[in-house]
Amino acid sequence: MGNCQAIDAATLVIQHPGGRVEKLYWPVTASEIMRLNPGYYVALIIAFCLPEEEDKRQDAVRITRIKVLRPTDTLVLGQAYRLITSQGLAVGLLLSFSLCHF
């Protein structure tokens, strides 16, 4: 008892598009995951909250960013990753391009 957080920190989580969650207990390369899941890219999920202002009584805003990994990148323990399709990647790139340039 009491070791649950230590075990969670020593895993890496891969979220599949169908909702399945896979936990690994060792570092792997993105190319290994892409080889096992053809047609998908591996993306790192980065979640953080914007700090609240003390004079406002609203909930903090949670921001989630996704960073697409290169095949040579190593997935590290303690992080969450998501598999995305090439179509999803193209849509995300178009949205980010349109938000930055308009």
Domains and CATH numbers, the chain: 9-101 (3.10.20)
Q: How many CB atoms lie within 10 A of CB 69?
A: 18
Residue 45: what pLDDT? 86
Least confident of 47-51, 84-88, 93-97: 93-97
The tokens of 75 are what?
A: 């997935």
Kindly tell me if the per-residue pLDDT of 94 is higher than 60.
no
The tokens of 8 are what?
A: 């969670």
Higher pLDDT, 60 or 18: 18
Characterize the bridge pairing of strands 80-85 and 12-15: parallel
Q: What's the pLDDT band for 88 if we cut at 50, 70, 90?
A: low
Kindly tell me if the per-residue pLDDT of 75 is higher than 90.
yes
**CA count, 13 A, side-chain hemisphere, 69:** 26
Distance CA 84, CA 66 (A): 10
Kindly tell me if the per-residue pLDDT of 101 is higher than 70.
no
Q: Is 64 helix (H, G, I), strand (E, B) or coil?
A: strand
